[in-house]
Structure 1
Amino acid sequence: MSDSPISDPAAILRHGVDPDRLRGLIERERAAYSARRPRSAALAAEARAHWFDGVPLHWMSDWGLPFPLFLGSAQGSTLIDADGIEHVDFCLGDTGAMFGHSPPPVVRAVAEQAARGLTAMLPSTLVPEVGRLLAERFGLPVWQATLSASDANRAVIRWARALTGRPDILVFNGAYHGMVDDVHVRLGPEGPRLRPGLMGQVYDVRRHTRVVEFNDVPALEAALSDRQVALVLAEPVMTNIGMVLPEPGMHEALRRVTREAGTLLAIDETHTISTGPGGYTRAHGLDPDFFVLGKPVAGGIPAAVYGFTREVAKGMAAARAADPGYSGLGTTLSANALAFAAMRATLAEVMTDAAYAHMTDLAAELAEGLRAVIRGANLPWCVTAVGARVEFMLAPAPPRTGGEAGRIGEPAIEGAIRLALLNRGLVVTPFHGMMLVAPTTTRQDVDRLLAGSAEVVAEIA
């Protein structure tokens, strides 16, 4: 387990934090966490016998805690751990439960479908309705379903290469598109490099993946100029390296440049679905060739979708004609009946205009409240937001590129704040300082988070 070591006191000071006070906070909060959670400690010890790193997914050990926090139950915006301690959840499964844990319409739909069958590799009777709901909401007329956004992004990359006959793709520096080999390329001082920590990669994906900085239109134009790039895969707002907002005109330029180069454009909305009912794409009038959405689309049941234009669909049909019945894409459990029941309930009954109005209004209050906390502590930090998604960043102004965003974080500070908030019954994401507001989040929940944040910041500033 990481204990957020303070390896560079000068870096801590640059962020307006006292290293000694930070060290003291970490020690106190780690001791308090361990003392209050004997059941989680026992489960962690037992799990280490058969699970790598003591958890079924190694990400679950990345919270910087003395041992993992084991889940007892979760409902709405309330998470109760294995020791019975209640928390207000602003992590929400890192977007997977963005509309609250176990929304009642999804629970009902899942229970009813489970009694009728889970999977049969046949289309559910709900397929036509879910397709209509997706098309109406997001604007793309044709769809396919997968189990995760990683699967969807892999499929989109493969289809784009097949349709264009081109070998390369382009991503933006610092973007995250899941467990997809092709996208793990970053910009270093001497040019593109494999992402540090990428395990078991046996070939150099830089051969067919190009990378430029977000908001750098001239670099994008240069990278596409030889007309060898099949696809640009982009988050409309970069979200997994901190939050990097598009500058005015960025998306218009992205669409213009890709069209001029004959390159297809995919918008990955897996995180930016926080923007509004139709995601960032509908809110800002984007016009992609592909659209990807995972995590929350089925209310927490594993599922994802990708949509595309009719022109793309025609090209896909022609490409499949070379070997009918086989494309090398898809998995047996993709588009299972249980996932479609959950998707229908989420799209029709959970992701409503009223839910988003509540989420975005309350998130705006949270963002302004956090700015006030930062100003009150005289810290050189900022707050960014996209709809219901809010993040504090350890820089005086929001970064404009992924490269800038990657240089401003400080794990010791972020980890200490996360741990201290957790001990105060407040859960934020284990990555950066991101928080989500759900339809089930209350103003009292936000006030509690702001009060806890002010208390923690006062201890270290």
Structure 2
Amino acid sequence: MSDMAGEKVAGVEPGRIAEVFESETARYVVKRPKSRARLEARNSGFLDNVPMLWMKDWPQPFPILVEKAQGATLVDIDGNELDDFCLGDTGSMFGHSPEPVAKAIAEQASRGLTYMLPTEDALEVGALLTEKFGPFRWQIATTASDANRFAMRIARAVTGKPRVLFFAACYHGAVDDALVRNVDGRTVERPALVGQVADLSQTSKVIEFNDLAALEAALAEGDVAAVLAEPVMTNCCMVLPDPGYHHELRRLTRKHDVLLIIDETHTISSGLGGYTRTHGLEPDMFVAGKPVAGGLPASIWGMSEAVAQRFRAYDEVRPSGFSGIGTTLSANPLQFAAMRANLSEVMTPENYAHMEKGAERLSNGLQAVIAKKELPWHVVRVGARVEFVCHPTLLRNGSESYIAHKPALERALHLALVNRGCLIAPFHNMMLVSPATSNAQIDRLIAAFDDVTSELLA
């Protein structure tokens, strides 16, 4: 199914999509006069009037100017309340400003924000990370993008190999090496990259997720230091691993002396300990970011004791000087205060149980609407993470997600949901259930989804 004029787009007439988007745009503008006036009256000094370019990618005609957010509710400066299922695209997965985290941040703020020296909180966090995620030797960074970069440096150092293998349409933040795609079996840069001059095929390989033959062939060439993988592909349309895929991924990486790095930045919603602990994976290195400090910028990366020993041997003989690993503001005391509170008081079995129960309620409700309307769509859930996909069947790899995306339809859906008080992730159709999310909020989202799909099919 394509977006071509005259053909239905995932079961919806293109003309109707345009009509709904136009009417919902007008409705959005009417509901936000203060936001519009502020944006039009003030030259903020920011490029395109936003502090980060991604903020232009929401489907609204102009940004939502946020006044405050608490729990699973966001309020804009016009007083519109939104049930927040985006939650900062996982950054606030445990809800906005969890009380223990907010308290810890306030207390630490009076004692200093950054020292480039450890604290007692740091020692406690190291123990808590092992308790939650497994016996890795931990390091702290500010973003998961940085954590992935540093993990890749370690992998290349201890194996002596130049390339990292990625899966098509993967998401590992702003890691240059990962911004590649598979075109006729060749690794090429993604066409939308800004200012890319290095040939990424010299440092990267890309294959399709769930393709074991391609994996074996790529690793057998002998130049791959590591596989960097999300255990479930998340930032395209969610792609689940085939039964037994992770077992074979681990077997083949060990066979070819390739380190396995699991990036749990999104799949940390899978359950306590992330997908790795929930499903018994055995990576050599583990990365997570976004929600680990309750919404404060922080990330974690760790290596097994075996990899740590290999790195110590490498580190003893390398020339002295800057390693390219670490940034000045990483591992600051504010991060540790927030992480200690989040890991010990927020990231609990009870909260994960609430999140999963709510996500199951949401998934079942959305699927019931899709079935009732006989739409060629489906719903995928992994732990507290839910996504509806405007495609009839489950996807097996990232390249299939390119055809599953329906930009015009999704843009109309997102805007219409905002107008009905529900915020979901802007870059795909992802929704998260937090410990603060209520059944009433979930039921409102299901009802809004029902109403919007009825409008699109009218």
TM-score, length basis structure 1: 0.97
> Does the 8 Å CA contact 1:320/1:327 hold for their aligned counterparts?
no
1:431 aligns with 2:427: yes
Q: Secondary structure at the match of 2:260?
A: strand
Q: Secondary structure at the match of 1:369?
A: helix
Cα distance in 1, alignment partners of residues 239 and 60 from structure 2: 27
> Does the 8 Å CA contact 2:232/2:239 hold for their aligned counterparts?
yes
Which residue of structure 1 aligns with residue 62 of structure 2? 67
Task: Out of 122-131 and 383-392, give the one that drifted further.
Answer: 122-131
Gaps (5+ residues) in structure 2?
none
Task: Out of 15-24 and 377-386, give the one that drifted further.
Answer: 15-24
Q: What amino acid sits opposite 2:167 in the alignment?
A: F
The Cα of 1:42 is off from its aligned counterpart by 2.5
1:274 aligns with 2:269: yes
Cα distance in 2, alignment partners of residues 238 and 403 from structure 1: 11
Alignment of 1:27-426 (within 5 A): 27-46=22-41, 48-189=43-184, 191-321=186-316, 322-324=318-320, 326-426=322-422
The Cα of 1:21 is off from its aligned counterpart by 2.0
> Does the 8 Å CA contact 1:78/1:86 hold for their aligned counterparts?
yes
Q: Secondary structure at the match of 1:379?
A: coil
Cα distance in 2, alignment partners of residues 53 and 378 from structure 1: 41
Cα distance in 1, alignment partners of residues 178 and 455 from structure 2: 40
Q: What amino acid sits opposite 2:345 in the alignment?
A: E
Q: What amino acid sits opposite 1:340 in the alignment?
A: F
Deviation by residue 1:161-182 (Cα, 9 ceiling, x = unmatched): 0111101110001101011111
After superposition, the Cα gap between the structure-2 partners of 1:302 and 1:206, relative to the gap in structure 1 and judged at 3 Å, is same
> Does the 8 Å CA contact 2:116/2:329 hold for their aligned counterparts?
yes
After superposition, the Cα gap between the structure-2 partners of 1:316 and 1:44, relative to the gap in structure 1 and judged at 3 Å, is farther
The Cα of 1:20 is off from its aligned counterpart by 2.3
Cα distance in 2, alignment partners of residues 276 and 89 from structure 1: 20
Cα distance in 2, alignment partners of residues 344 and 70 from structure 1: 31
> Does the 8 Å CA contact 2:142/2:330 hold for their aligned counterparts?
yes
> Does the 8 Å CA contact 2:74/2:82 hold for their aligned counterparts?
yes
Q: What amino acid sits opposite 1:25 in the alignment?
A: V
Cα distance in 1, alignment partners of residues 144 and 371 from structure 2: 37
> Does the 8 Å CA contact 1:142/1:309 hold for their aligned counterparts?
yes
> Does the 8 Å CA contact 1:140/1:291 hold for their aligned counterparts?
no
Deviation by residue 1:401-431 (Cα, 9 ceiling, x = unmatched): 1111121111111111100010111100101
Q: Secondary structure at the match of 1:123?
A: coil
> Does the 8 Å CA contact 1:359/1:439 hold for their aligned counterparts?
yes
The Cα of 1:189 is off from its aligned counterpart by 3.5
Gaps (5+ residues) in structure 1?
1-5
Cα distance in 2, alignment partners of residues 175 and 116 from structure 1: 40
> Does the 8 Å CA contact 1:55/1:61 hold for their aligned counterparts?
yes
Cα distance in 2, alignment partners of residues 42 and 101 from structure 1: 27
After superposition, the Cα gap between the structure-2 partners of 1:10 and 1:140, relative to the gap in structure 1 and judged at 3 Å, is farther
Q: Secondary structure at the match of 1:287?
A: coil
> Does the 8 Å CA contact 1:47/1:55 hold for their aligned counterparts?
no
After superposition, the Cα gap between the structure-2 partners of 1:140 and 1:46, relative to the gap in structure 1 and judged at 3 Å, is farther
Q: Secondary structure at the match of 1:74?
A: strand
Cα distance in 1, alignment partners of residues 182 and 396 from structure 2: 15
Which residue of structure 1 aligns with residue 20 of structure 2? 25
Identity rate, percent: 53
The Cα of 1:208 is off from its aligned counterpart by 1.8
Q: What amino acid sits opposite 2:283 in the alignment?
A: P
TM-score, length basis structure 2: 0.97
The Cα of 1:324 is off from its aligned counterpart by 4.0
The Cα of 1:379 is off from its aligned counterpart by 0.3
Which residue of structure 2 aligns with residue 3 of structure 1? none
RMSD (Å) for aligned C-alpha atoms: 1.3
> Does the 8 Å CA contact 1:48/1:55 hold for their aligned counterparts?
no
1:9 aligns with 2:5: yes
Cα distance in 1, alignment partners of residues 353 and 3 from structure 2: 43
Q: Secondary structure at the match of 1:9?
A: coil
Aligned residues: 455
Cα distance in 1, alignment partners of residues 44 and 83 from structure 2: 31
Cα distance in 2, alignment partners of residues 47 and 388 from structure 1: 39
